[in-house]
A = this chain, B = another copy of it.
Amino acid sequence: MTYQLHYWPNIQGRGEFIRLALEAAGAPYVDVARGDEAAGQGMGAMARYLEDESVARPPFACPFLVDGKRVIGQTPAILLYLAPRLGLVGASEDQRLWTHQIQLTIADFIVEVHDIHHPLGVTLYYEDQKPEALRRAAEFRKHRLSKFLAWFEAIITRNPGNKAGRAPHLVGAKLSYADLSLFQVVEGLTYAIPKAAGKALKKTPGVVAVHEGVARHKRVAAYLASERRLPFNKEGIFRHYPELDG
């Protein structure tokens, strides 16, 4: 069965956490909104799920996944559903719950990363909230960035599955979707606020090592080098406005 991923066609955004999981597992999927309208894909296909009153369980927003009759919204819920099917999470309830807990903390983190350029909300442009963004970004760089990274570092350090000389993971001794998501967060921070991120990451070698391990993953590396990987830009979660980098 080919999975259908529905997400904005021009940004990495939240959809990228799903794309990375599908790509790392080599799973068959269609990135629907990037497809051809003539083939029943494109933005119209995505909009139907969000707007058509015949959809019994409509997502609030994209990304969402369609798997046969199932329509699943919310990035962490999509990953919770996909991961056992893609081999990207451990088998026990404890491992699944812990991996999900990490993913939810990543979700909280990226809300804060996003809000450094949108402190007054998504209904206004960045240019309409620039002084507020400067203040929020300063607070984020000073207090929040290192707090989140230190937590990821702590759980990597305490993961008994990690052995010296091998690329570490967040959970157990195998790649999970949480590793892929942390990789994406490091990518995004390094793009958006390179100075602040570089400085903070010097104190979290475990986080850097997880990022490096994921980057070397064969299928992930092939994906990153492909045209399927969209470049960062000024539309997604991670945006490079030099003035927000301190």
Contact = CB atoms under 8 A, between A and B. Distances in A.
Interface of A: 53, 55-60, 70, 72-74, 76-77, 80-81, 94, 97-98, 100-101, 104-105, 108, 111-112, 115, 119-121, 123-124, 129, 132, 135-136, 139-140, 142-144, 148, 151, 154-155, 158-160
B77 A101 contact: yes
Contacts of A160: 56
Given A104-B74, A105-B74, A57 B120 contact: no
Given A76-B76, A112-B121, 11 more contacts: A57-B155, A57-B158, A58-B154, A58-B158, A60-B105, A74-B100, A119-B120, A120-B135, A120-B136, A123-B142, A129-B135
Contact of A77 (B57, B70, B100): B100
Nearest to A104: B74
Contact of A144 (B77, B123, B140, B151): B123
A187 B244 CA distance: 37
Given A74-B105, A155-B58, A144 B121 contact: yes
Give the 3 A-B CB pairs with smallest separation, nearest first: A74-B104, A123-B143, A121-B139
Q: Give chain A's interface secondary structure class.
A: helix
Contacts of A154: 53, 58
A123 B139 contact: yes
A60 B136 CA distance: 21
Contact of A136 (B57, B121, B151): B121
B58 A70 contact: no
A141 to B, nearest CB: 11
A142 to B, nearest CB: 7
A3 B116 CA distance: 37
Given A57-B98, A74-B105, A98-B57, A136 B119 contact: yes
Contacts of A158: 53, 55-58
